[in-house]
């Protein structure tokens, strides 16, 4: 591409990036403001809203549920998604071509529709516990990452290496664990990170799959916001942003951030 | 025998999960809308005969379209600049796009709640500049929903397009300009057609994302700017009208899948590199 850019173009783009980041600083300001209501610019400085989060039991329990669901859901999705991605790449000819489209469905069906349908037909229809349906919903939500991101790594894997190991007498499972898996580890890490962050931030699926005693952090934030409009919400948001920073640091260290533009 | 079955044994668990916990529940939700006590397709007649529900659908389409157009334009400009930046500046810009993207919808919509609120930064700025006498409410308007929605989707557009624009071969662009094409002609006749498939896919992501969103219209639009997502929730959990909620869900599924299928076909056909 040409390398010369019109100055006006650079100015507009800089403004766009500034506006993308600015609101997040506004939250940071609101979180440390020494006022009982949300405001910006901050008046005074206090960390009491951060300690306030830990006083509220609902935030503690929902944060734990969110972490559990995100870890378990991602783990389950990888556990069944990696073999599926492997089969789709390794046995392309022996599996019907529509099978790979099955794993596009969780992206294609609107999340809020999936959440509502799971509540209506699984929680109530099949009488499954709320927690189980919530976990299944999140596993479905992140399954496409496991199948597609890991699948992309497998697409560039040379299966003749695997055949060499098997022909030398290595059992199939050991071959997978010691030969295939190390070669696709970047894809597995990417899938894990994307799935985890998607699950922990999800609203639309969880909306219908939370009930008395079982709720997730984003749903609890929404509920808290409707009752109290105080800086506690801003400080919870700051903690969630810190989680994002942590995730980005992991991405940068393992894969490099540019992998997200591919 | 085991060898012939092994592909299915490997792909089976994931396939079953989608079958049992996605196709079955969503399918039966959609199936339930085909008929009720009043007869075939009565739930749809009820939907389209109610002016309130038609308004919600039209509002959702309108907001999603406006959001898509603005996000495509802003995303294209930003991605174009990203694609031309030298290494270090490029990574800073990519971080600035990825960070909001990885920060949840609730947090990002909440930022706009503070920004547009009565004591918000926009009101304070306007007050101190003497442009307004007292703070006015910007929340619960169409503009607030669109602003927050654009904010939500521009990073996605940037990341989708940055890769596409970077992938445009430099020599094609250079060839066009060395043959005498003016910068605007190069843009219109070379860059735009080559970026079109990516542009269409990005636009589909933004449109379907806005069309089915919940948190943003709930927080910034409230009751006054109800969209399909918030309407579905209200039908299901406030009025317990499950047939009504299922009808809203079915319309969302049909619109989403129709748009995705049509536009991906179009994107494939418009790809000049594929021919």
Give domain status of residue B100, yes or no.
yes
- The boundaries of the domain holding residue B242 are 38-270
pLDDT in tens, B10-57: 999 999 999 999 999 999 999 999 988 888 899 999 999 999 999 999
Give the mean pLDDT of A206-223. Answer: 93
Give domain status of residue A24, yes or no.
yes
**What is the model's pLDDT at position B136?**
79
Indicate the number of domains in chain B.
1
Give domain status of residue A50, yes or no.
no
Same domain, A41 and A60: no
Chain A residue nearest residue B242, CA to CA: A120
**What is the model's pLDDT at position B50?**
94
**What is the model's pLDDT at position A261?**
65
Indicate the number of domains in chain A.
2
Same domain, A189 and A220: yes
- What is the percent of chain B with per-residue pLDDT over 90, rounded to a whole number? 66
pLDDT reading at B146 higher than 80 = yes
Same domain, A28 and A76: no
Same domain, A39 and A78: no
Same domain, A62 and A92: yes
- The boundaries of the domain holding residue A187 are 56-259
Backbone angles phi, psi at B5, to 5 degrees: -85, -20
Same domain, A14 and A106: no
pLDDT reading at A262 higher than 70 = no
- Supply B79's token pair: 């991605």
Same domain, A85 and A197: yes
Same domain, A113 and A29: no
| Closest C-alpha among B149, B159, B78 to residue B108 | B149
Give domain status of residue A31, yes or no.
yes
Interface check B260 vs A, CB under 8 A: yes
Q: Which residues pair with residue B35 across a beta bridge? A: B40
Give domain status of residue B6, yes or no.
no
Give domain status of residue A177, yes or no.
yes
Give domain status of residue B12, yes or no.
no
**What is the model's pLDDT at position A1?**
47
Interface check B18 vs A, CB under 8 A: yes
Per the prediction, chain B carries an average pLDDT of 91
Give domain status of residue B63, yes or no.
yes
Same domain, A112 and A203: yes
Same domain, A248 and A168: yes
Whether residue A121 and residue B246 make contact (CB cut-off 8 A), yes or no, is no
Give domain status of residue B64, yes or no.
yes
Which letter, b or e, does each residue of B156-168 get, where b requires 16 or more Cβ atoms within 10 Å of its Cβ? bbbbbbbbbbbeb
Q: Using CB atoms, which residue from B22, B104, B151 is nearest to A105?
A: B22
Give the CATH number, domain containing residue B116.
1.10.3720.10
pLDDT in tens, B167-198: 888 888 888 888 988 888 888 888 999 999 99
Give domain status of residue B4, yes or no.
no
Chain B residue nearest residue A118, CA to CA: B25
Which tops the pLDDT comparison, B18 or A212? B18
DSSP characters for A28-42? HHHHT-SSSS--SS-
**What is the model's pLDDT at position B273?**
62
pLDDT band with cut points at 50, 70 and 90 for residue B70 = very high
Give the CATH number, domain containing residue A251.
1.10.3720.10
Give domain status of residue A78, yes or no.
yes
Give domain status of residue B32, yes or no.
no
CA distances from A168 to A36, A161, A164, A171 (A): 70, 11, 6, 9
**What is the model's pLDDT at position B111?**
92
Give domain status of residue A51, yes or no.
no
Using a CB-CB distance cutoff of 8 angstroms, which residues of chain A are in contact with residue B77?
A: 9, 12-13, 16
pLDDT in tens, B75-134: 999 999 999 888 888 888 999 999 999 999 999 999 999 889 877 788 888 888 888 888
pLDDT in tens, B234-274: 999 999 999 999 999 999 999 999 999 999 899 888 876 65
């Amino acid at each position: 591409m040409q390398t010369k850019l019109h100055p006006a173009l650079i100015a507009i783009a800089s403004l766009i990036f500034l506006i993308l980041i600015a609101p997040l600083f506004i939250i940071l300001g609101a979180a440390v403001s020494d006022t009982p209501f949300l405001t910006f610019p901050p008046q005074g400085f206090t960390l009491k809203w951060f300690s306030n989060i830990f006083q509220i039991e609902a935030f503690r329990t929902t944060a734990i549920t969110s972490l559990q669901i995100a870890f378990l859901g991602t783990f389950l999705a990888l556990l069944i998604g990696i073999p599926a991605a492997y089969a789709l790449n390794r046995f392309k000819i022996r599996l019907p071509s529509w099978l790979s489209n099955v794993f596009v469905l969780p992206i294609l069906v609107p999340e809020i529709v999936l959440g509502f349908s799971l509540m209506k037909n699984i929680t109530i229809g099949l009488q499954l516990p709320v927690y189980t349906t919530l976990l299944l919903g999140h596993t479905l939500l992140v399954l496409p990452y496991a199948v597609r991101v890991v699948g992309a790594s497998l697409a560039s894997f040379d299966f003749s290496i695997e055949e060499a190991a098997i022909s030398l007498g290595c059992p199939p499972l050991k071959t997978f664990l010691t030969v295939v898996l190390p070669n696709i580890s970047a894809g597995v890490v990417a899938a894990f990170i994307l799935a985890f962050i998607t699950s922990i931030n999800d609203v639309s699926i969880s909306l219908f799959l939370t009930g008395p005693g079982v709720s997730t952090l984003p749903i609890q934030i929404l509920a808290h916001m409707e009752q109290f409009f105080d800086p506690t919400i801003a400080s919870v948001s700051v903690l969630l942003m810190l989680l994002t920073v942590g995730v980005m640091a992991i991405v940068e260290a393992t894969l490099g951030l540019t992998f997200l533009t591919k | 025998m085991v060898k012939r079955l092994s592909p299915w044994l490997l792909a089976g668990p994931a396939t079953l999960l989608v079958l049992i916990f996605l196709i079955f529940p969503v399918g039966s939700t959609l199936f339930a809308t085909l008929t009720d006590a009043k007869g075939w397709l009565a739930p749809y007649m009820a939907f389209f005969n109610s002016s309130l529900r038609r308004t919600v659908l039209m509002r959702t389409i309108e907001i999603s379209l406006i959001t898509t157009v603005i996000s495509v334009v802003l995303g294209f400009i930003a991605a174009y600049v990203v694609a031309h930046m030298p290494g270090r500046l490029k990574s800073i810009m990519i971080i600035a796009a990825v960070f909001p993207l990885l920060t949840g919808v609730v947090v990002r919509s909440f930022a706009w709640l503070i920004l547009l609120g009565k004591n918000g930064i926009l009101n304070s700025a306007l007050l101190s500049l003497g442009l307004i006498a007292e703070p006015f409410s910007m929340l619960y308007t169409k503009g607030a929903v669109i602003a927050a929605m654009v904010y939500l989707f521009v990073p996605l557009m940037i990341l989708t397009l940055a890769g596409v624009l970077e992938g445009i071969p430099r020599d094609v662009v250079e060839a066009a300009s060395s043959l005498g094409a003016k910068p605007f002609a190069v843009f219109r006749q070379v860059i735009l057609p080559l970026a079109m498939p990516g542009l269409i896919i990005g636009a589909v992501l933004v449109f379907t994302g806005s069309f089915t969103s919940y948190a943003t219209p709930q927080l910034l639009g409230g009751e006054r700017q109800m969209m399909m997502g918030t309407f579905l929730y209200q039908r299901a959990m406030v009025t317990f009208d499950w047939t009504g909620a299922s009808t809203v869900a079915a319309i969302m599924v049909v619109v989403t899948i129709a748009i995705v299928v049509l536009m991906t076909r179009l994107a494939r056909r418009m790809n000049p590199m594929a021919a």
